Amino acid sequence: MDFAEWTAQWITFDHEQNNRSPEASPMFRKTFEAGANLLSARIYATALGIYELELNGERLNENKFLPGWTSYHKRLQTQTFNVTGLIQKGRNAIGITLADGWYKGRIGGHPNNFYGDQRAALLELYLVYEDGRQEIVITDDSWRCETGPIIMASIYDGETYDARLEKDGWSRSSYADHDWLPVSILDHSKQMLIPQENVPTRVMRELKPAGLLRTPTGEDILDFGQNMVGWVSFSLTAPEGTIIELAHAEVLDRDGNFYTDNLRSAKQTTRYVCRGSVNEYYEPRFSFQGFRYVKVTGYPGDMSLEAFTAHVIYSALDETGTFECSDELVNKLQSNIVWGQRGNFLDVPTDCPQRDERLGYTGDAQVFIRTAAFNMDVAAFFTKWLRDLKADQLPNGGVSNTVPDTLPGWDLHSAAGWGDAAVICPWTLYLCYGDKRLLEEQYGSMRSWVEFIRSLGEQEFLWNSGFQFGDWLALDAPAGSYAGATPKDFIATAFYAHSTDLLVRAAQVLGYVDDVARYTELRNRVIEHFNLEFVSKNGRLVSPTQTAHVLALSFGLVEDNVRARVEQSLIQLLEQSDHKLTTGFLGTPYLCSTLTDIGRTDLAYKLALSREFPSWLYSVEQGATTIWEHWDGQNADGSFWSADMNSFNHYAFGAIGDWFYRVVSGIDTDAESSGYKHTVIRPRPGEGLHYARASFQSMYGEILSLWRIEDGKMTIQITLPPNTTGTVFLPNTCQEEVTEGGDRLIEADGIRQVTAQEKDVRLELDSGSYQFQYAWRL
Ligand code: BGC
């Protein structure tokens, strides 16, 4: 429905006037008559806060945390429910429950009431009869309300539920509501209403506890074996008034005790008060927790593991990618990356799901989006988020560091590598899904971002002012700082050039000829000034850090002999550090791919497969089941690097996933023919692996790349889906050596062209499945 079509009124519950706790969740109900011969019944609904509907006693709660999180004052999603089968001839009843959610609860550093101090519901039910008649039921002052068993529900803090206050049958027509209270009408705009854009958030899987621990301090802890996001349900029989409390944590400390310091002020605790019935069941509905361990207190008698279930929630994204190889730790790493994505793709891409943040940090999203788009179909998810980015973009083109913007009015917006999400994310989606519409839609936002940078500072072609996070959490950070050693203006100017470059590419795709010329010129000037400011004539960078070298190379900022020198220096830096990485959020995503680009995939393998600190597999060896925020989140002796900024479910460093798909298995799309219309498959075997397999469900169908080295023989299997073509590189061989399905290459079907390219054979292929074999010599 278009917002102008809404006739319903916002209804709210006046806690003060009704003398109820302001934290308690209000419930609203309304009865109505339905006639015979109903053709269809649809509910359109939304809320300020989060809502759940019931119809004739049935909960319509498959989709969670409705209406989702958007920039609420500008965009508020509405949902449609087909309830034709639930309407009875005669009397019916609808119920709505509201909770604070992101709208009214505390968010980031804000106390409650960030978007508004009133929860409210808006609903229209359309009954359409076979004879074309239509009846409408809307929220208005005829509804009744009361509070019920939900005493408190908060995204960060958990939920308190007193089952003694349940109102049995409250959403049925037969329920006696004479003592319920009148609703209040809230004067609130409807202009920002938009139909649902994102895939819904759902319970996507359920896990049983893997074990029960008694800690040294004597606490009972359920171990679910996996760091995840969602909630825990349980059933029990206990006397009326018994209180069960579940506290949630990601890790145990070095002594094996329950550890919650890293959650900061988020309480993540659910509390249930029993009504005294047989086999009571409870699961929270309006709060989510990030956890692997659950401390249970108050459970009567022996705790049975059977009684507890973890419900894992995230945006219901289709999983599109798989990667596996001959190193089990890497396979665990891939699983950790995917679990990190599950935990943090909860309607918006969040930095973390457990402490008092859970915010849509733009930098984190930007570094991870390419990996995310391999693992899952994130097209709709990011389309919605980018519309919020655009909606929250400042009039001068600046971009908030979190989207939706939870830091408005803060001077500290538009950090390099964070605000650049405005350009990098739409471009990446275009590459992965080949859909020009999003580029078109976001183009104005992309361009204003670049113009914003241009307008900053004293020098048009350098970005050396404004607020910066720098190479966040890099290991070369000076003591007491989260920002790595690479100078912030170096990083900022590098991203300035990069975003301008991607803007040029977007303008090319969209045929904006003038902009292609204008921004090509700008990009060239920025690169020129980058070189004047940060690179000596002989090719020495002002900053001897891995991140500085990686960004200069990866963004194409240095050329010819200067480039050769920078490549050399990067290799020297790695040798000097004994092949240990020092990079943070901004350098790490480009580290291994840059080494591949400069012909040193061997070094990339060394870093990616290293078990020693600092490395990806170090955390795996320490027992990680998701990606850590810090390289040293937990030390080998079980101690923590710090309590303060130490999430164990932060996907940013999981951006290495892109390298496994795109380099080890070699699946990439061609920018000229994006969305995998033309796929380039270039497997790059390396020391430490003898097998790798990646599959990717593209918009055209499944793409497969598998290679295996066995008994001196290389086997490569490739699948290209219908209506696509591919360029495939067979590493380290020549045409005469290779067979396909047992035939010589020149006799095989589907191969259009065979050429030799350096040490590889390059093939132009039609869609289909191929199996290549040749002797493997190093
Ligand atoms: C978040 C990060 C984010 C950063 C930026 C942190 O608190 O968890 O992931 O990008 O702030 O400062």
Q: Which tens digit of pLDDT belongs to each residue from 273-303?
A: 999 999 999 999 999 999 999 999 999 988 8
The answer on pLDDT for 102 being more than 70 is: yes
Taking the centre of ligand 1 as the mean of its atom positions, its distance from the CA of residue 626, in whole angstroms, is 17
Per DSSP, the residues of 316-382 read: -PPB-EEEEES-HHHHHHHHHHHHHHHHHEESEE-S-SSSS----BHHHHHHHHHHHHHHB--HHHH
Per DSSP, the residues of 579-639 read: S-----TTTHHHHHHHHHHTT-HHHHHHHHH--SSSSHHHHHHTT-SS--SSTTSB-TTS-
How many C-beta atoms surround the C-beta of residue 204 within 10 A?
16
The answer on pLDDT for 409 being more than 70 is: no
pLDDT reported for residue 81: 97
Q: What is the DSSP letter of 658?
A: H
Q: What percent of the chain has pLDDT over 90?
A: 95
> Which residues are designated catalytic?
357, 629
- Asked whether 665 and 718 are in contact (CB, 8 A), the reply is no
Q: Which tens digit of pLDDT belongs to each residue from 444-482?
A: 999 999 999 999 977 999 999 999 999 999 999 998 899
Mapped onto helix, strand or coil, the DSSP state of residue 28 is strand
Closest by alpha carbon to 489, among 456, 525, 538? Answer: 456
**Position in ligand 1 atom list of the atom nearest CA 362:** 10
Q: Residues near 175 by Cβ (< 8 Å), separated by ≥ 6?
A: 29, 93, 167, 169
Ligand 1, from 364, 482, 631: best to mutate by most atoms within 8 Å of Cβ? 364
Place of tokens 């798909």: 661
Distance separating alpha carbons of residues 712 and 737, to the nearest angstrom: 13
pLDDT reported for residue 320: 98
> Where does 202-315 sit in CATH, by number?
2.60.120.260
**Position in ligand 1 atom list of the atom nearest CA 652:** 9
Residue type, 410: W
The answer on pLDDT for 527 being more than 90 is: yes
Distance separating alpha carbons of residues 483 and 495, to the nearest angstrom: 16
pLDDT reported for residue 410: 66
How many C-beta atoms surround the C-beta of residue 448 within 10 A?
20
Distance separating alpha carbons of residues 134 and 36, to the nearest angstrom: 12
All structural domains of the chain with their residue ranges: 3-150+163-196, 202-315, 321-663, 665-775
**Residue 361 in contact with ligand 1 by CB distance below 6 A:** yes
Q: Which residue's CA lies nearest to atom 2 of ligand 1? A: 351
How many C-beta atoms surround the C-beta of residue 118 within 10 A?
19
How many C-beta atoms surround the C-beta of residue 732 within 10 A?
18
Ligand 1, from 357, 406, 414: best to mutate by most atoms within 8 Å of Cβ? 357
Q: Up-side HSE of residue 272: CA atoms within 13 Å toward CB? A: 26
**Residue 146 in contact with ligand 1 by CB distance below 6 A:** no
Ligand 1, from 355, 472, 473, 488: best to mutate by most atoms within 8 Å of Cβ? 472
**Position in ligand 1 atom list of the atom nearest CA 645:** 7
Q: Which tens digit of pLDDT belongs to each residue from 748-766?
A: 999 999 999 999 999 999 9
- Asked whether 97 and 321 are in contact (CB, 8 A), the reply is no
**Residue 363 in contact with ligand 1 by CB distance below 6 A:** yes
Mean pLDDT of all residues in the chain? 96
Q: Which residue's CA lies nearest to atom 5 of ligand 1? A: 469
**Residue 357 in contact with ligand 1 by CB distance below 6 A:** yes
In angstroms, what CA-CA distances link 751 with 9, 745, 762, 770, 771?
64, 8, 10, 10, 12
Q: What is the DSSP letter of 541?
A: B
Taking the centre of ligand 1 as the mean of its atom positions, its distance from the CA of residue 351, in whole angstroms, is 6
Residue 640, sorted as left (phi over 0), alpha (psi -120 to 50) or beta, turns out to be beta
pLDDT reported for residue 643: 84
pLDDT reported for residue 190: 96
Beta strands in 415-572 (DSSP E): none
Strands across the sheet with 90-99, in order? 58-59, 50-55, 90-99, 26-34, 144-147, 181-182
**Residue 584 in contact with ligand 1 by CB distance below 6 A:** no
Taking the centre of ligand 1 as the mean of its atom positions, its distance from the CA of residue 586, in whole angstroms, is 12
Fold identical between 3-150+163-196 and 202-315?
yes
- Asked whether 400 and 407 are in contact (CB, 8 A), the reply is yes
Domain 321-663 CATH class label: mainly alpha
Distance of CA 215 to the CA centre of its chain: 33
Q: Which residue's CA lies nearest to atom 3 of ligand 1? A: 361
Q: Which residue's CA lies nearest to atom 9 of ligand 1? A: 351
Distance separating alpha carbons of residues 289 and 266, to the nearest angstrom: 9
Position with higher pLDDT, 778 vs 469? 469
Taking the centre of ligand 1 as the mean of its atom positions, its distance from the CA of residue 197, in whole angstroms, is 26
Q: Which residue's CA lies nearest to atom 12 of ligand 1? A: 469
Ligand 1, from 351, 481, 585, 588: best to mutate by most atoms within 8 Å of Cβ? 351
Q: Which residue's CA lies nearest to atom 1 of ligand 1? A: 351
Taking the centre of ligand 1 as the mean of its atom positions, its distance from the CA of residue 108, in whole angstroms, is 11
Pairing of strands 158-162, 181-182: unpaired
Q: What is the DSSP letter of 6?
A: -
Taking the centre of ligand 1 as the mean of its atom positions, its distance from the CA of residue 267, in whole angstroms, is 20
Tell how many helices (H) and how many strands (E) occur in the chain: 14, 37
Q: Which tens digit of pLDDT belongs to each residue from 320-366?
A: 999 999 999 999 999 999 999 999 999 999 999 999 999 999 999 99
**Residue 471 in contact with ligand 1 by CB distance below 6 A:** no
Length of the chain: 778
pLDDT reported for residue 777: 86
Closest by alpha carbon to 710, among 775, 663, 772, 770? Answer: 775
Taking the centre of ligand 1 as the mean of its atom positions, its distance from the CA of residue 557, in whole angstroms, is 27
Distance separating alpha carbons of residues 188 and 186, to the nearest angstrom: 6
Per DSSP, the residues of 552-578 read: HHHTT---HHHHHHHHHHHHHHHHHTT
**Residue 567 in contact with ligand 1 by CB distance below 6 A:** no
- Asked whether 570 and 550 are in contact (CB, 8 A), the reply is yes
Distance separating alpha carbons of residues 424 and 469, to the nearest angstrom: 18
Distance separating alpha carbons of residues 483 and 494, to the nearest angstrom: 16
Q: Which residue's CA lies nearest to atom 8 of ligand 1? A: 351
Closest by alpha carbon to 589, among 417, 338, 340? Answer: 417
**Position in ligand 1 atom list of the atom nearest CA 363:** 10
The answer on pLDDT for 539 being more than 90 is: yes
Q: Which tens digit of pLDDT belongs to each residue from 697-709?
A: 999 999 999 999 9
**Residue 351 in contact with ligand 1 by CB distance below 6 A:** yes
The answer on pLDDT for 243 being more than 90 is: yes
> Where does 3-150+163-196 sit in CATH, by number?
2.60.120.260
Distance separating alpha carbons of residues 248 and 296, to the nearest angstrom: 9
Taking the centre of ligand 1 as the mean of its atom positions, its distance from the CA of residue 362, in whole angstroms, is 9
Distance separating alpha carbons of residues 474 and 367, to the nearest angstrom: 14
| Banded model confidence at residue 632, pLDDT cuts 50, 70, 90 | very high
The answer on pLDDT for 230 being more than 70 is: yes
Closest by alpha carbon to 344, among 653, 591, 97, 621? Answer: 653
In angstroms, what CA-CA distances link 547 with 446, 540, 595, 651, 707?
25, 14, 12, 19, 31
Domain covering 665-775, topology: Maltose phosphorylase, domain 3 (2.60.420)
In angstroms, what CA-CA distances link 251 with 217, 262, 554, 572, 647?
15, 9, 36, 37, 10
Alpha helices in 147-192 (DSSP H): none
Distance separating alpha carbons of residues 39 and 18, to the nearest angstrom: 40
The answer on pLDDT for 170 being more than 90 is: yes
Q: Which tens digit of pLDDT belongs to each residue from 558-567?
A: 999 999 999 9
- Asked whether 383 and 197 are in contact (CB, 8 A), the reply is yes
Q: Which residues of 350-389 are buried (b: 16+ CB within 10 A; e: fewer)?
A: bbbbbbbbbbbbbbbbbbbbbbbbbbbbbbebbbbbbbbb
**Position in ligand 1 atom list of the atom nearest CA 482:** 12
The answer on pLDDT for 110 being more than 90 is: no
Mapped onto helix, strand or coil, the DSSP state of residue 451 is helix
- Asked whether 242 and 273 are in contact (CB, 8 A), the reply is yes
Taking the centre of ligand 1 as the mean of its atom positions, its distance from the CA of residue 250, in whole angstroms, is 18
**Position in ligand 1 atom list of the atom nearest CA 351:** 9
Taking the centre of ligand 1 as the mean of its atom positions, its distance from the CA of residue 361, in whole angstroms, is 7
